[in-house]
């Protein structure tokens, strides 16, 4: 979440608000082809948004932009308290000016007040952003000759008088032939994202990223690439504290007009854009998505029912889980494999979760829909299995096809993984038949070999009962091989009950120790 300095005295300098009337709890922190992009099959978030009007909208355009000292900053063509006059010849409305708005603990907005007269120009003011320490402001305003063409500037806060922004500096890549709009700064202050129709893009407006140099200036802008930008417009980027970039696009598949999308900054590039869904997107233009906390924020839209061309709305979001689920099976027989260890790895091959498959071989992980994952599965007696990159934008179902290792043959024994039995039962599990098949393969390959099957139990239950149970288990394993065609004179079964424990834990063993005690060993005669 954002940590925005609470300083109502400084805020009042820019907003002309009586301090006695604005002491309110803060809402913030309260909680590759581009030509086929707009098809019907696209990744959509399952999150549920509840959207309500903010009550501050006018009959003209109101667009949200940033937070500053617990205030919501917007730009609007209303003239409430603004300095100057004139009309934008392209819209026939007053020029946009910057306003700041108070928020209560529920996110309700109060009457907008004019923000920082020194930033007011003869034309339009547009989107703005602040450095993490809020001592630098990055803002856009239109050129004198074209109200649609915005340029980017930086000013710093006057630490002496604590009353104004000073030392306006233009970005080095400003150019009157194109527009630079909607700047947003990363939470560590090292990157600026913005939209522009500068030459060299993919079409319309694209999203760019610039480095912030030692003087606080954005430099070396780079296009985010074809995974994000399309032949049409990508605008209004906003970078969250968790390095997710929310933006609007009419080039990616959506519900109409500019839709809201999100992408995750990854080690190499960006995740595939995820449409935020029809509970927040409309058939019109939906823009300027800004989070105030993990589940609350503001969005701007010109959807049906707005007062003006664009209105500001408040939203709450109920995050829907994304799931990667699946089953582990033996590759050839497709028999389900319980007790398989499934490791979920992130894009850096770091383990983020681990599970053991259930009796039906299943597993399920809750994941971030913007992240990429891989899976590594391990099971005694099987080769390690790796499933490379898995997209989790929609609930993914995968199958882990495990390949068995062969039995190890020594001078005295055949060594395989443990054969599993349920507690207090002698019947073979299906996965155990796969293990016995390894013994069968060795006996077929070596017709002279004879073996003894030795079965053991854990220490729970009486000695007599456990001895009988182990004999039944040895018999079950022996009969399986005989039924498969091994001569009965070549296999012998013996039960030892709990007489030869692997662990000196008696009745205080862990479940894993109990499972290990319920074992079967194969000795060569």
CB 274 within 8 A of CB 244: no
Same domain, 152 and 297: yes
Strand partners, 53: 313
Give the pLDDT of residue 7: 43
Tell me, yes or no, whether 486 lies in a domain.
yes
**pLDDT surpassing 90 at residue 278:** yes
> What are the beta bridge partners of residue 97?
76
Q: Is residue 3 part of a domain?
A: no
Residue 33 has pLDDT above 60, yes or no: no
pLDDT mean across residues, the chain: 87
* Domain boundary pick from 318, 352, 368: 318
For the chain, how many helices (H) and strands (E)? 4, 34
Last residue of a domain, one of 402, 426, 457: 402
416 and 343: one domain?
no
Q: In terms of domains, do 470 and 519 share one?
A: yes
Query: Which range is most confident: 36-50, 391-405, 436-450?
Result: 436-450
The token duo for 366 is: 């809750």
Is 159 in the same domain as 262? Answer: yes
**Length in residues, the chain:** 525
CA atoms within 13 A on the CB side of 224: 29
pLDDT of 458: 86
β-strand partners of 99: 74, 114
Residue 21 lies in a domain: yes
Q: Is the pLDDT of residue 37 over 70?
A: no
Q: Cα separation of 352 and 141, whole Å?
A: 45
Confidence of residue 31 (pLDDT cuts 50, 70, 90): low
d(CA 493, CA 174): 85
CATH code at position 509: 3.30.1330.60
Name the domain boundary from 290, 318, 346: 318
pLDDT tens digit sequence for 308-329: 789 999 999 999 888 999 999 9
Tell me: the pLDDT tens digits for 454-490? 999 888 888 899 899 999 999 999 999 999 999 999 9
In this structure, is residue 311 part of a structural domain?
Answer: yes
Mean pLDDT: which of 3-7, 140-144, 238-242 is highest? 238-242
Q: Give the SS3 label for residue 516.
A: helix
Strand pairing of 191-196 and 206-212?
Answer: antiparallel
| CB atoms inside a 10 Å sphere around CB 190 | 11
Report the DSSP beta bridge partners of residue 492: 452
66 and 207 together in one domain: yes
∠ Cα 202 37 196 (to 5°): 30
Taking the C-alpha atoms of residue 268 and residue 479, their distance in angstroms, rounded to an integer, is 56
522 pLDDT higher than 80? yes
Two structure tokens written together for 174: 């400003």
Of the ranges 54-63, 445-454, 493-502, which is most confident?
445-454
Please classify residue 188 by burial: count the beta carbons closer than 10 Å to its beta carbon, then call 0-12 exposed, 13-18 middle and 19+ buried.
Answer: exposed
Number of structural domains the chain divides into: 3
Give per-residue pLDDT as tens, 164-177: 888 999 999 999 99
336 shares a domain with 301: no
Q: Which two tokens stand for residue 320?
A: 């829907």
pLDDT of residue 80: 57
- Cα 193 to Cα 128, 169, 219: the distances in Å are 11, 18, 11
| Higher-scoring residue by pLDDT: 92, 47 | 47
Decide: helix, strand or coil at residue 492. Answer: strand
- The Cα–Cα gap between 130 and 300 comes to 20
Q: For the domain that residue 172 is a member of, what is the CATH number?
A: 2.120.10.30
Q: What is the DSSP string of 269-335?
A: SBPPPEE--TTT--SS-EEEEEESSSSEEEEEE--TT-SSSSEEEEEEEEPPPEEEEEEEEETTT--
Q: Any idea what DSSP says for residue 486?
A: -
Q: Examine residue 256 and state whether it is found in any structural domain, yes or no.
A: yes
Residues 64 and 164 placed together within one structural domain of the fold: yes
Same domain, 137 and 153: yes
pLDDT bin (cut points 50, 70, 90) of residue 29 is: low
Write the pLDDT tens digit of every residue in 99-124. 999 988 888 898 898 887 777 778 88
Same domain, residue pair 138 and 117: yes
Place of tokens 């907003």: 15
pLDDT higher than threshold 70 for residue 25: no
For residues 357 and 344, is the Cβ–Cβ distance under 8 A?
Answer: no
Confidence at residue 421, expressed as pLDDT on a 0 to 100 scale = 73
HEC string of 188-231 equals CCCEEEEEECCCCCCCCCEEEEEEECCCCCEEEEEECCCCCCCC
Provide the domain limits for residue 447. 408-524
CA distance 245 to 183: 12
Could you give the percent of the chain with pLDDT greater than 90? 63
Span 237-243, mean pLDDT?
Answer: 95
302 and 195 within one domain: yes
Distance CA 453, CA 444 (A): 16
* Positive/negative CA dihedral, 148, 154, 157, 160: negative
Are 91 and 204 in the same domain? yes
In a domain, 1, yes or no: no
Contact, 245 vs 263, CB < 8 A? yes
Confidence of residue 6 (pLDDT cuts 50, 70, 90): very low
Q: Phi first, then psi: what are they for 207, rounded to 5°?
A: -100, 135
- Inside any domain, residue 2: no
Q: Supply the pTM of this predicted model.
A: 0.80
Question: Phi-psi category of 339—alpha, beta or left, where left has phi over 0 and alpha has psi -120 to 50?
Answer: left
Q: How far is C-alpha 200 from the chain's CA centre?
A: 30
Q: Are residues 237 and 310 located together in one domain of the fold?
A: yes
Is residue 27 pLDDT above 80, yes or no?
no
Mean pLDDT confidence for 264-281: 92
Rounded-to-integer distance, Cα 465 and Cα 468, Å = 5
Strands (E), 77-159: 87-88, 93-94, 97-101, 113-114, 125-130, 136-142, 150-157
Q: What is the CATH number of the domain that holds 349?
A: 2.60.40.1120
């Amino acid at each position: 979440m954002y940590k925005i300095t609470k300083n109502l005295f400084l805020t009042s300098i820019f907003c002309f608000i009586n301090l006695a009337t604005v002491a309110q709890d803060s809402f913030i922190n309260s909680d590759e082809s581009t030509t086929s992009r707009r098809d019907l099959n696209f990744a959509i978030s399952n999150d549920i948004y509840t959207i309500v009007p903010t009550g501050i909208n006018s009959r003209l355009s109101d667009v949200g932009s940033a937070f500053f000292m617990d205030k919501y900053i917007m730009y609007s063509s209303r003239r409430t308290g603004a300095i100057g006059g004139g009309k934008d010849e392209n819209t026939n409305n007053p020029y946009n000016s910057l306003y700041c708005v108070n928020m209560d603990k529920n996110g309700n907005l109060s009457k907008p007040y004019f923000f920082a007269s020194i930033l007011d120009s003869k034309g339009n003011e547009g989107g703005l952003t602040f450095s993490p320490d809020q001592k630098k402001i990055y803002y856009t305003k239109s050129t004198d000759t074209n109200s649609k063409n915005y340029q980017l500037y930086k000013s710093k806060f006057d630490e002496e008088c604590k009353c104004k922004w000073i030392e306006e500096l233009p970005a080095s890549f400003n150019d009157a032939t194109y527009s630079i709009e909607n700047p947003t700064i990363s939470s560590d202050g090292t990157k600026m994202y913005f939209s522009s129709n500068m030459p060299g893009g993919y079409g319309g407006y694209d999203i760019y990223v610039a480095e912030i140099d030692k003087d606080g200036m954005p430099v070396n802008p780079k296009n985010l690439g074809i995974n994000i930008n399309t032949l049409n417009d990508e605008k209004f980027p906003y970078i969250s504290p968790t390095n997710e970039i929310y933006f609007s696009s009419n080039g990616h598949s959506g519900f109409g007009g500019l839709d809201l999308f999100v992408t995750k900054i990854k080690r190499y590039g960006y995740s595939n854009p995820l449409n935020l869904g029809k509970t927040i997107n409309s058939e019109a233009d939906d823009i300027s998505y800004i989070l105030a906390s993990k589940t609350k924020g503001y969005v701007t839209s010109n959807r049906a029912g707005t007062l003006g061309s664009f209105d500001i709305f408040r939203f709450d979001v109920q995050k829907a889980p994304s799931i990667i689920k699946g089953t582990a099976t033996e590759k050839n027989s497709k028999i389900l494999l319980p007790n398989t260890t499934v490791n979920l790895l992130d894009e850096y091959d770091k383990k983020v979760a681990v599970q053991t498959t259930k009796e039906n071989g299943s597993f399920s992980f809750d994941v971030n829909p913007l992240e990429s994952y891989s899976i590594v599965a391990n099971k005694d007696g099987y080769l390690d299995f790796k499933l490379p990159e898995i997209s989790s934008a929609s609930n993914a179902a995968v199958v882990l096809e495990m390949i068995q290792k062969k039995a190890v043959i020594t001078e005295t024994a055949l060594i395989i993984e443990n054969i599993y039995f349920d507690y207090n039962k002698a019947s073979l599990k299906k996965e155990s038949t796969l293990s016995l098949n390894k013994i069968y393969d060795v006996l077929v390959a070596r017709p002279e070999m004879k073996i003894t099957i030795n079965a053991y139990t854990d220490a729970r239950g009486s000695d007599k009962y456990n001895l009988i149970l182990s004999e039944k288990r040895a018999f079950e394993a022996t009969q399986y091989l005989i039924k498969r065609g091994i001569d009965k004179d070549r296999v012998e079964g013996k039960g030892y009950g709990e007489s030869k424990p692997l662990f000196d834990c008696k009745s205080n063993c862990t479940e894993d120790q109990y499972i290990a005690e319920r074992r079967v060993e194969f000795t060569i005669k």
